[in-house]
Amino acid sequence: MREIVFDTETTGVFPDHLEVELRDRIVEIGCVELFNLERTGREFHVYLNPERSVPDEVVRVHGLTREFLSNHKKFGEIVDEFLEFVGDAPLVAHNAGFDQGFINAELRRLKREEQGNERFIDTLQIARKRFPGASCSLDALAKRFQLDRHGFDLTARKGAGGHGAIIDARILAEVYLQLKGGREQRLVFEPETAASEANAVARTVQFARRQPRETPLAPRISADEEAAHAAFIEKLGPSALWLKTGS
């Protein structure tokens, strides 16, 4: 199944602020394509001109200044490319309501159709059900699943500007795989597939009947052992199984 793991970076947390000039905007979108939970290598990544200022405290998080962003396209200039990339695939995000709110706010400004709740998969909710009471931030999950073993530089995220949409989307793609059971889950067949495989094996394996020896092997029991065995059987009485089987 095709899915899109994505993340956004923004100018703040209020995409629908009552004052138009204070409404926060998207400054970066990062998307990673999955097929059967594995990354295909296809990605979509853009920086966006938010057409407004970027607060210093936000710049310290993602490192994207207004000067840098002013040289990039606006959301309306990339919307068709973005929608074509995601297609009709489920959209996977961490704290998906936040990213959904910003994507839909941008679409509303362009009078484009918004993305419904049914399209979004929230890995934060999945993680909270799996690890109740524990921290379920993306950083905490990346550490829990030891993503540094998969080549992710988790220490770089602790510094200023360490967060980025495409970086976080790549990390989330691996976290999502682990939340769904890890690569081991790929070893579990669907019931129909397992039955088909079992029938195929049953049809191909044939057991040949072993032919008896022409000359039976000589008994290895000694006369004394045979006498001792007979004496033991006699003690069991006339109903002993040994007498019924003739052994």
Q: Is the pTM here over 0.85, yes or no?
A: no
Query: Domains along the chain?
Result: 2-185 (3.30.420.10)
Amino acid of residue 165:
A
pLDDT of residue 183: 74
Q: Residues in the chain with pLDDT < 50? A: 188-189, 193-194, 197-198, 200-205
- Alpha-carbon 181 to chain mean position: 7
Q: What is the pLDDT of residues 179-195, one digit of tens each?
A: 999 876 555 445 554 45
- The C-alpha atoms of residue 98 and residue 242 are separated, in whole angstroms, by 79
- Alpha-carbon 33 to chain mean position: 12
Q: Are 99 and 93 in contact (CB under 8 A)?
A: yes
Amino acid of residue 61:
V
Q: Of these residues, 45, 72, 150, 163, which one is catalytic?
A: 163
User: Any catalytic annotation for residue 94?
Assistant: no
**In whole angstroms, how large is the CA radius of gyration of the chain?**
33
Torsion sign across C-alpha atoms 22, 27, 33, 38: negative
